[in-house]
């Protein structure tokens, strides 16, 4: 970087401004991760490093974002069209950690505004599936400690 600061300043400013609009505290992750507009919202899709649901939750928060909350079939459809890896799960913020079978959004603590399950799901396999991922365009309850790709959504709201 020595001698070429201007090369880096413009994209850093743009990304920092984008991140600042969702949260005041911006750390290094915020300016290294790009959020993409898909439909009406901005998402960051992690499909290189798989993480547990809990770690993914923290990773999104460190970006000033949250695990994605889906509100409609269109949001699910638009988002899924951008997921490049098939036959793998991507964590979203839906979970039934508090009460079995009651799927809430972590972000709002309210019942998930939209659910669309794969056939046979949610099955709470081995009584330990309490976190939800998108798997080939549909939702599945899964073991929160399993490592999956994940989707962050910018902003405090859903
Ligand atoms: Ca469960
Ligand atoms: Ca399941």
Q: Which domain holds residue 77?
A: 5-154
Q: Is 79 helix (H, G, I), strand (E, B) or coil?
A: helix
Q: Which CATH number covers residue 30? A: 3.10.100.10
Ligand 2 centroid from CA 129, angstroms: 6
Per-residue pLDDT at 119: 98
Q: Do residues 105 and 79 lie in contact, with contact meaning Cβ atoms separated by under 8 Å?
A: no
DSSP conformational letter for 86 = -
Q: How far is the CA of 72 from the centre of ligand 1 (A)?
A: 22
* Cis amide leading into 122 (omega within 30): yes
pLDDT score of 120: 98
pLDDT score recorded for residue 3: 47
Alpha carbon separation from 4 to 9, 32, 33, 40, 156 (Å, rounded): 9, 18, 22, 36, 35
Residue 34: what pLDDT? 84
CA of 154 to the centre of ligand 2 (A): 27
Give DSSP secondary structure letters for 106-118: TTTSSB-S---BP
Residue 128 near residue 104, CB atoms below 8 Å:
no
The tens place of each residue's pLDDT in the chain, 158 residues long, gives: 454 444 444 444 444 444 444 444 455 455 457 899 999 899 999 999 999 999 999 999 999 999 999 999 999 999 999 999 999 999 999 999 999 999 999 999 999 999 999 999 999 999 999 999 999 999 999 999 999 999 999 986 66
- CA-nearest of 79, 101, 98 to 90 is 79
CB-CB contact of 33 with 49 (8 Å): no
Distance 42 CA to ligand 1 centre (A): 28
115 DSSP β-pair partners: none
The number of folded domains in the chain is: 1
- CA–chain centroid gap for 84, Å, is 15
Cα(95)–Cα(103) distance, integer angstroms: 5
Q: Distance from the CA of 98 to the center of ligand 1, in angstroms?
A: 9
The rounded distance, in Å, linking the Cα atoms of 148 and 104 is 19
What ligand has the least distance to the C-alpha of 117? 2
Closest ligand to residue 142's CA: 2
Q: What's the gap in Å between 133 CA and the centre of ligand 1?
A: 12
């Amino acid at each position: 970087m020595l001698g070429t600061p201007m090369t880096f300043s413009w994209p850093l400013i743009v990304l920092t401004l984008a991140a600042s609009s969702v949260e005041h505290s911006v750390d290094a992750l915020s300016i290294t991760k790009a959020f993409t507009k898909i439909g009406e919202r901005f998402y960051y899709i992690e499909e290189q490093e798989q993480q547990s649901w809990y770690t993914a939750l923290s990773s999104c928060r460190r970006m000033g974002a949250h695990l994605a909350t889906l509100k409609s079939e269109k949001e699910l459809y638009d988002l899924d069209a951008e997921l490049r890896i098939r036959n793998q799960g991507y964590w979203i913020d839906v979970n039934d950690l508090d009460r079995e079978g009651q799927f809430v959004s972590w972000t709002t603590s309210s019942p998930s505004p939209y659910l669309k399950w794969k056939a046979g799901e949610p099955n709470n396999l081995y009584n330990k599936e309490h976190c939800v991922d998108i798997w080939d365009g549909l939702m599945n309850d899964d073991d929160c400690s399993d490592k999956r790709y994940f989707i962050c959504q910018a902003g405090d709201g859903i």
